Structure formats: C-alpha cells, structure tokens
C-alpha cells in the first residue's frame, strides 16, 4: 500500500525532473555600454573587462591605485567592544557634531594618549 506522502513526493519529483520547454530563437537584447556580458569568449571578455575598468576609473575621476591614501592603507585595524549604551552615546555625539563615530573614537584616544604623555601618535 502506498501512503499519501510517498505518492505526493513521487509526483513532485516527476514534475521537477520533467524536461523544460526550450524557448525558440530569442531576439538579441541590446545591452548598455556599461554592462559586460559574462558568457562572452575569453578574448572578448578580457577586452570588455578592460573597457569596464577604464570606465570605472573615468567615472571615479582617478587612476586605479588600490589602497593609496585611504585610512585602510595607512592604519591597522583594531576591534573595540563597547557596552551598548556607550556605543549609542558615541553615535549620538557623532550625529550632533555631524561627524562619524570613528572620528569621535579617534579624538577620545588622542586625548587619552596626550594625557599620558604620548603626543603625536595619532
């Protein structure tokens, strides 16, 4: 005797495994010039990739030099765990001063280091 679940599962599996109808000749889609087609030939893809990166550089208005002049390139990352109330207070202070919380953290750290006699580290 076949139970209801196994019959339902067999029906679902047969529907899933049934071959799908293949669409007939599709009309070619015209892509905007800033879109790169991923299924292109390797040579075409390399040219398209170079074109896309040059377009990004033009859009950014600068040459692509990763990490030059950014905070991430000139500083080391540190993880800071704060109680939720302290984190919210830093965010509130930053909001009222129209600054980022990172800037408030840096000011607090700079003041602390100067107070301890370590001027000029930050």
Nearest-5° angle of CA 13, CA 15, CA 21? 140
Q: How far is CA 25 from CA 20, 28, 37, 40, 96, in A?
A: 16, 9, 19, 18, 60
Extents of the domains making up the chain: 35-65, 72-122
CATH node for 72-122: 1.10.1220
What's the token pair of residue 58?
């033009």
| pLDDT for the residue 114 | 93
- Kindly report whether the global pTM for this prediction surpasses the value 0.75: no
| pLDDT for the residue 101 | 93
Q: What CA–CA distance (Å, rounded) separates 42 from 48?
A: 10
pLDDT tens sequence across 13-35: 676 666 666 656 666 777 777 77
What's the token pair of residue 61?
């208005």
């Amino acid at each position: 005797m076949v139970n209801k679940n196994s019959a339902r599962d067999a029906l679902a599996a047969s529907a899933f495994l049934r071959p799908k109808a293949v669409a007939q000749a599709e009309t070619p889609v015209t892509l905007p010039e800033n879109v790169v087609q991923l299924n292109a030939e390797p040579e075409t893809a390399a040219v398209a990739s170079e074109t896309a990166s040059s377009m990004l550089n033009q859009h950014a208005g600068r040459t692509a030099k990763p990490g030059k002049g950014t905070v991430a390139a000139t500083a080391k990352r540190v993880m800071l765990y704060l109680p939720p109330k302290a984190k919210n207070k830093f965010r509130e202070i930053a909001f009222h001063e129209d600054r980022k919380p990172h800037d408030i953290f840096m000011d607090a750290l700079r003041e602390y280091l100067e107070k301890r006699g370590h001027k000029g580290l930050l």
